[in-house]
């Protein structure tokens, strides 16, 4: 007999399966709802969309009942009832009904999440009552007799078979009733509505549809499930109804059959869910923690292979060439095989980013209604695959960007018309992958970011700004640059000094927008105004080893670009040396590696600058950033990181080579160092720090890191410095 611990372990695994299946059914429901919305106020609803939604909510009801999540079970049943009314032509899809279905899907997700977190469960009674009122009103507004209306199909209905199998699997009896309308029956008041009402007293009406008889007439077919042990319905024969008990064939036969109750007794059958699918599933659900463990083991193999490679190199001088070459070939073969294994494990962890994009359609829909705007969402690249770990953590950043685009960016329809724009605004979500990097873009065609308003708001909130100077003459030399802080000082500025809004670049503007507590809204609403959204976006992207860029043009729109590594576990890296110390630089963040002659370095306001591709490029020496001993050298190597105005060169003494490294993230805040993303181990057993190239490339971040690592006071987080425009 299984003990309590064994039962507890089984229950935990069972709940994990429930949560995973719920996510799948909810994802299918969201897709179905988006397709169904096009049929509002239409009588001819796409049957495939309706059947898919019905199956999703029916499955959610069943599995929620199995694990005891009664709130989800009740709500899913009520939503199923509305879908059944739509399918049986008892109701027409109304805007109120569509809103209730979307709200129900969101509430189902919330209830399941609350159950998972052991939090208090939200009561769905209010939404259920709303759905019930919509169903009742729709039925009251339908014609009394619709026996001669509706589309007729002679094709077998897969939903009928699926529902029949589910009901029998739940231990219920399923009966099929056929009604053929006739003039003499109609004269007695017996029509399809009369029969439907009578069958609803027998049990749960699962399915109703018209069909063409062999003689060319019209008949109506009903499926009714009941828990009662009823053997016959003799009174229905007088009303022109024939009936038969439904059973499933034993395993090996997937069809449902009609049994004539007068000719043969009904034998009990074991429910076979082969009726739900004619082919076996080729999918295996795996816990993400197991994949994490598998990736960790692959990482250990990578480190062991590096150690083997080091030993093989040391043996080159001690062994004859005929004996050493086979060792080298074996080591190289292991390297190729490990790379294939690593890529295979990574592919298993990959999921489409469409999981996030699809949810944004509901966000845009709700916010557009709330702000009385017309907005369409365009999706591209939603099949792009990234690590499941990244998908879960990208939800909030993308959600904040989309919310801001609707609330701040897209103008009201009348305002857009006055500006010569289409009344309907556009938000585009795009995703693409290149090598080891994924790029996600969120672009809108709204009003753009008002730099002057951002600066004014920053000053009013006491966030300091160090500009480039009031006029063009000060630009590039630093002359006239001054610190602006506080609302009183801002009010004293002349119009000429407000030209800082024209001189500020996108990187500096992004720093202001992402400052903690910053918001251009005086009052908060559901979508924005609390000053935490963009700060969350920035911190999350940085924490994932990525970069966030902003491009905006007044009156034209705004573009946010997120660049992230495809995975955070194992990466290719350049091994560099600076001040007798070795560092690893993720190769995905390096644009180019160049060699610099010491005589080519120019000093501009105590900053090193070189000419790179015909333009000035700021140069940061790694030895100075980390306070390491510096040797006089005739030449340096530098790796170029960043993009646009954030492009910088990081100077090092030497480039030692390229390695596949295992990323060990430093989570302890007591030992975290600015500019360091983590650590790794090379083949010789020594630990090597992994540089955060994105942090080094950010404006003024290099100076902050240098000040911090050399024991100097660190600049305030409220100070946003601009790099000298050389």
CATH classification of the domain holding 62? 1.20.120.160
Q: What is the pLDDT of residues 428-459, one digit of tens each?
A: 999 998 767 889 999 999 999 888 888 888 78
Please name the residue that has the structure tokens 């001040």: 579
Percent of the chain residues topping a pLDDT of 70: 73
CATH classification of the domain holding 659? 2.40.50.180
pLDDT band at 547 (very low <50, low <70, confident <90, very high): confident
Please tell me the total count of domains within the chain: 5
Q: Are residues 431 and 474 in the same domain?
A: yes
pLDDT of residue 485: 42
Sequence-separated (6 or more) residues with CB below 8 Å from residue 60 = 22, 25, 26, 29, 72, 76, 108
Q: Are residues 11 and 114 in the same domain?
A: yes
What are the angstrom distances between the C-alpha of 260 and each of 164, 201, 247, 268, 590?
17, 22, 11, 15, 75
For 18-60, the DSSP string reads HHHHHHHHHHHHHHHHHHHGGGTT-SS--HHHHHHHHHHHHHH
Q: Are residues 526 and 610 in the same domain?
A: no
Residue 280 lies in a domain: no
Residue 589 lies in a domain: yes
CA distance 20 to 181: 47
* Nearest CA among 660, 652, 725 for reference residue 693: 652
CA distance 379 to 359: 11
* Nearest CA among 628, 640, 639 for reference residue 582: 628
Q: Kind and range of the H or E element at 493?
A: none
* Nearest CA among 237, 256, 239 for reference residue 162: 256
CA distance 461 to 466: 15
Residue 340 lies in a domain: yes
Q: Are residues 526 and 399 in the same domain?
A: yes
Adjacent-strand bridge partners of 376: 426
pLDDT of residue 491: 46
CA distance 658 to 584: 9
Instruction: Give the least confident one: 160-164, 471-475, 496-500, 537-541.
Output: 471-475
pLDDT exceeds cutoff 60 at 148: no
- Residue 59 near residue 24, CB atoms below 8 Å: no
pLDDT band at 722 (very low <50, low <70, confident <90, very high): very low
- Residue 385 near residue 349, CB atoms below 8 Å: no
pLDDT exceeds cutoff 60 at 389: yes
Instruction: Give the least confident one: 347-351, 476-480, 527-531, 557-561.
Output: 476-480
pLDDT of residue 405: 92
Q: Are residues 512 and 656 in the same domain?
A: no
What are the angstrom distances between the C-alpha of 581 and each of 584, 585, 629, 667, 687?
10, 13, 10, 22, 11
CA distance 446 to 403: 13
pLDDT exceeds cutoff 50 at 470: no
Helix axes 95-116 and 47-67, enclosed angle (nearest 10): 30
Residue 283 lies in a domain: no
Q: Are residues 12 and 91 in the same domain?
A: yes
Q: What is the pLDDT of residues 561-615, one digit of tens each?
A: 998 887 767 788 899 999 888 999 988 888 889 998 888 888 887 788 888 888 8
Q: Please say which residue of 80, 109, 142 terminates a domain.
A: 142
**Mean pLDDT score, 151-164:** 48
Q: Are residues 134 and 178 in the same domain?
A: no
Q: Please say which residue of 531, 565, 599 terminates a domain.
A: 565
Length of the chain: 726
Sequence-separated (6 or more) residues with CB below 8 Å from residue 419 = 411, 555
- Residue 692 backbone phi and psi in degrees, to 5: -90, 90
Q: How many other β-carbons are positioned within 10 Å of the β-carbon of residue 463?
A: 24
pLDDT of residue 269: 32
pLDDT of residue 478: 32
Residue 282 lies in a domain: no
Residue 206 lies in a domain: yes
Q: Are residues 381 and 527 in the same domain?
A: yes
Q: How many other β-carbons are positioned within 10 Å of the β-carbon of residue 676?
A: 18
Q: Are residues 407 and 505 in the same domain?
A: yes
CA distance 336 to 62: 48
- Residue 8 near residue 59, CB atoms below 8 Å: no
Domain that holds residue 32: 1-142
- Residue 377 near residue 364, CB atoms below 8 Å: yes
Total-model pTM? 0.63
pLDDT of residue 166: 58
Residue 126 lies in a domain: yes
Q: What is the pLDDT of residues 40-91, one digit of tens each?
A: 877 677 777 788 888 888 888 888 887 788 899 889 888 888 888 887 777 7
Question: What is the SS3 string spanning 171-219?
Answer: CCEEEEEEECCCHHHHHCCCCHHHHHHHHHHHCEEEEEEEEECCCCCEE
Q: Are residues 134 and 28 in the same domain?
A: yes
**Residues 346-357 as b or e (16 or more Cβ within 10 Å = b):** beebbbbbbbbb
Q: In what order do the strands lie in the sheet with 654-662?
A: 654-662, 570-578, 581-586, 687-691, 676-681, 664-665
**Mean pLDDT score, 669-679:** 78
Residue 363 tokens, joined: 């966000």
pLDDT exceeds cutoff 70 at 93: yes
Q: Please say which residue of 544, 565, 586 terminates a domain.
A: 565
Mean of all residue pLDDT scores within the chain: 75
Sequence-separated (6 or more) residues with CB below 8 Å from residue 677 = 545, 586, 663, 665, 666, 690, 691, 692, 695
Tell which wins on pLDDT, 582 or 711.
Answer: 582
Q: What is the pLDDT of residues 355-373, one digit of tens each?
A: 888 888 888 988 888 889 9
CATH classification of the domain holding 459? 3.30.565.10
Supply the Cα-derived Rg of the chain in whole angstroms. 33
Percent of the chain residues topping a pLDDT of 90: 9
Residue 726 lies in a domain: no
* Nearest CA among 256, 577, 566 for reference residue 434: 566
Tell which wins on pLDDT, 645 or 104.
Answer: 104
Q: What is the pLDDT of residues 163-216, one digit of tens each?
A: 556 566 566 778 888 888 877 777 777 777 778 778 877 788 777 777 666 666
Q: Are residues 335 and 370 in the same domain?
A: no
In terms of DSSP H, where are the helices of 515-661? 533-543, 622-625
Tell which wins on pLDDT, 504 or 612.
Answer: 612
Strands 615-621 and 648-652 turn out to be parallel
* Nearest CA among 581, 647, 653, 583 for reference residue 615: 647
Sequence-separated (6 or more) residues with CB below 8 Å from residue 668 = none
- Residue 241 backbone phi and psi in degrees, to 5: -110, 130
pLDDT of residue 528: 54
> Following CA atoms 131, 132, 134, 139 in sequence, which dihedral angle do they give, to the nearest 10 degrees?
140
* Nearest CA among 357, 309, 315, 371 for reference residue 335: 309
pLDDT exceeds cutoff 80 at 375: yes
Vertex 544 angle, CA 541 and 549, to 5°: 30
Q: Are residues 10 and 75 in the same domain?
A: yes
Tell which wins on pLDDT, 260 or 46.
Answer: 46
């Amino acid at each position: 007999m299984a003990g309590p611990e064994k039962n507890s372990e089984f229950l935990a695994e069972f709940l994990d399966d429930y949560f995973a299946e719920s996510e799948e059914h909810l994802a299918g429901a969201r897709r179905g709802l988006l397709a169904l919305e096009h049929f509002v106020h239409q009588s001819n609803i796409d049957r495939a969309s309706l059947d898919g939604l019905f199956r999703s909510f029916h499955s959610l009801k069943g599995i929620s009942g199995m694990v005891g999540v009664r709130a989800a079970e009740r709500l899913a049943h009520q939503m199923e009832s509305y879908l059944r009314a739509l399918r049986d032509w008892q109701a027409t899809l109304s805007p109120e009904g569509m809103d209730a279905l979307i709200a129900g899907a969101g509430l189902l997700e919330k209830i399941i999440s609350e159950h998972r977190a052991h939090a208090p469960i939200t009561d769905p009674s209010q939404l259920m009552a709303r759905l019930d009122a919509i169903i009742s009103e729709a039925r009251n507004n339908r014609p009394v007799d619709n026996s001669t209306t509706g589309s007729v199909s002679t094709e077998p209905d897969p939903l009928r078979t699926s529902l029949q199998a589910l009901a029998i699997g739940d231990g219920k009896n399923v009966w099929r009733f056929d009604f053929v309308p006739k003039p003499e029956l109609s004269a007695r008041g017996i029509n399809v509505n009369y029969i439907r009402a009578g069958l609803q007293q027998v049990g749960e009406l699962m399915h109703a549809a018209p069909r063409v008889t062999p003689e060319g007439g019209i008949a109506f077919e009903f499926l009714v499930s009941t828990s009662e042990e009823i053997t016959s319905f003799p009174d229905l024969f007088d009303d022109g109804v024939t009936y038969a008990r439904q059973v499933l064939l034993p395993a090996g036969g997937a069809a449902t059959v009609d049994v004539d109750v007068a000719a043969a007794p009904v034998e009990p059958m074991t429910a076979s869910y082969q009726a739900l699918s004619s082919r076996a599933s080729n999918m295996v659900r795996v816990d993400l923690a197991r994949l994490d463990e598998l990736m960790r083991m692959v990482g250990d193999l990578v480190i062991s292979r590096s150690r083997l490679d080091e030993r093989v190199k040391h043996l080159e001088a001690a062994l004859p060439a005929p004996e050493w070459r086979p060792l080298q070939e074996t080591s190289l073969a292991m390297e190729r095989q490990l790379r294939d294994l690593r890529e295979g494990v990574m592919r298993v962890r990959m999921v489409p980013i469409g999981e996030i994009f699809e949810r944004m359609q509901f966000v845009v829909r709700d916010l557009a209604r709330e702000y009385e705007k017309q907005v369409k969402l365009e999706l591209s690249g939603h099949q792009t695959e990234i690590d499941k770990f990244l998908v879960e953590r990208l939800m909030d950043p993308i959600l904040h960007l989309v919310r801001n685009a609707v609330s701040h960016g897209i103008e009201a329809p009348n305002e857009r018309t006055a500006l010569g724009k289409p009344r309907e605004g556009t938000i585009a979500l795009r995703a693409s992958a290149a090598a080891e990097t994924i790029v996600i873009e969120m672009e809108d065609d709204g009003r753009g970011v008002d730099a002057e308003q951002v600066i004014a708001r920053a000053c009013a909130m006491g966030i300091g700004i160090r500009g480039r100077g009031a006029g063009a003459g000060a630009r590039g030399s630093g002359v006239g640059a001054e610190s602006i802080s506080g609302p009183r000082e801002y009010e004293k500025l002349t119009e000429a000094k407000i030209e800082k809004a024209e001189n500020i670049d996108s990187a500096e503007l992004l720093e202001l927008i992402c400052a903690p507590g910053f918001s251009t809204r005086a009052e908060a609403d559901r979508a924005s105004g609390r000053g935490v959204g963009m700060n969350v976006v920035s911190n999350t992207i940085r924490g994932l080893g990525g970069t966030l860029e902003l491009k905006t043009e007044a009156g034209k729109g705004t573009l946010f670009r997120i660049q992230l590594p495809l995975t955070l576990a194992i990466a290719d890296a350049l091994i560099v040396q600076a001040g007798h110390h070795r560092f690893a630089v993720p190769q995905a963040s390096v644009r180019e590696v160049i060699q610099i002659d010491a005589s080519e370095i120019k000093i501009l306001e105590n900053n090193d600058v070189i000419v790179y591709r015909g333009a000035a490029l700021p140069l940061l020496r790694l030895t100075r950033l980390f306070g390491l001993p510096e040797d006089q050298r005739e030449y340096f190597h530098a790796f170029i990181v960043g993009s646009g105005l954030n492009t910088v060169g990081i100077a090092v003494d030497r480039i030692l080579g390229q390695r596949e490294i295992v990323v060990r993230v430093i989570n302890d805040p007591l030992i975290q160092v600015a500019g360091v993303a983590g650590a790794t181990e090379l083949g010789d057993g020594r630990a090597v720090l992994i540089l955060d190239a994105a942090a080094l490339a950010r404006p003024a971040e290099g100076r902050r890191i240098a000040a911090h690592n050399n024991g100097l006071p660190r600049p305030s987080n409220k100070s946003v410095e601009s790099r000298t425009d050389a």
